[in-house]
Amino acid sequence: MVRRTRAEMEETRALLLATARKVFSERGYADTSMDDLTAQAGLTRGALYHHFGDKKGLLVAVVEQIDAETDERLQAAFNRAEDPWDGFRRRCHAYLEMSLELEIQRIILRDARAVLGGTLPESYRYCIESMQQQVSVLIEQGMIVDTDPQALATLIYGSLAEAAFWIANAEDGNARLGQAKDALDLLLQGLLKKPGITA
């Protein structure tokens, strides 16, 4: 039996992830067999079992990879803003915009939700914690009302996740995206300590 180097093992794992992302996006999780996956990657079932345990384990790894990339993109949207409030708003809008992307629609918003159910991968928890940190900064700077940052971040993230699912399942996703952004802005305005509107 030939021993594989660490670099070869990492290359095999990366190839399986990349192949799974492509095939899951095109066919969906349910319509993808492990034989399809391994054949497209030019690997054996043994390689898939070794690295991910089974097809569900591979899906979890794909979701975590996409979520990590998503968080980087959301952070980039935040970083382009003029101030923390604008950054927070941009981050929320960017999250909704991603729901129109095929890979995110199929893998994150449909398959992961159906297959993984209520068991949220670690990356989901990280997204909420990341949002909680931004909410804490906004509270500390006196930009939004003082409330529990974890509760608020959880509520906002949950709302965004449901809205993204709603957008992804529309015949006209762009129309729903516009509606969701308008509604989101109304909700976020309610958080401002000084909304700029005098009674």
User: Which CATH number characterizes residue 17's domain?
Assistant: 1.10.10.60
Asked if pLDDT for residue 108 goes beyond 50, the answer is yes
Say how many domains are in the chain. 2
Q: Is 74 exposed, middle or buried (0-12, 13-18, 19+ CB in 10 A)?
A: buried
- 86 within domain boundaries: yes
Structure confidence at residue 197 as a pLDDT band (50, 70, 90): very low
* pLDDT value of residue 27: 92
What length does the chain have? Answer: 199
Are residue 85 and residue 175 in the same domain, yes or no? yes
- 96 within domain boundaries: yes
Q: Please check whether residue 165 is in contact with residue 109, taking contact to mean a CB–CB distance below 8 angstroms.
A: yes
Residue 93 is part of a domain; what is its CATH number? 1.10.357.10
Domain that includes residue 9, residue range = 1-53
Structure confidence at residue 119 as a pLDDT band (50, 70, 90): low
Are residue 89 and residue 151 in the same domain, yes or no? yes
- 196 within domain boundaries: no
Are residue 84 and residue 45 in the same domain, yes or no? no
Are residue 16 and residue 107 in the same domain, yes or no? no
Asked if pLDDT for residue 150 goes beyond 90, the answer is yes
Asked if pLDDT for residue 199 goes beyond 70, the answer is no
Are residue 72 and residue 46 in the same domain, yes or no? no
As a whole number, mean pLDDT of residues 158-177 equals 94
Domain termination residue (choose one: 18, 36, 53): 53
Are residue 90 and residue 143 in the same domain, yes or no? yes
Are residue 49 and residue 97 in the same domain, yes or no? no
Are residue 19 and residue 72 in the same domain, yes or no? no
Are residue 120 and residue 23 in the same domain, yes or no? no
Domain termination residue (choose one: 53, 74, 90): 53
- 194 within domain boundaries: no
Are residue 43 and residue 66 in the same domain, yes or no? no
Are residue 127 and residue 49 in the same domain, yes or no? no
Q: Map the chain to HEC letters.
A: CCCCCHHHHHHHHHHHHHHHHHHHHHHCCCCCCHHHHHHHHCCCHHHHHHHHCCHHHHHHHHHHHHHHHHHHHHHHHHHCCCCHHHHHHHHHHHHHHHCCCHHHHHHHHHHHHHHHCCCCCHHHHHHHHHHHHHHHHHHHCCCECCCCHHHHHHHHHHHHHHHHHHHHCCCCHHHHHHHHHHHHHHHHHCCECCCCCCC
Are residue 133 and residue 174 in the same domain, yes or no? yes
- 195 within domain boundaries: no
- 199 within domain boundaries: no
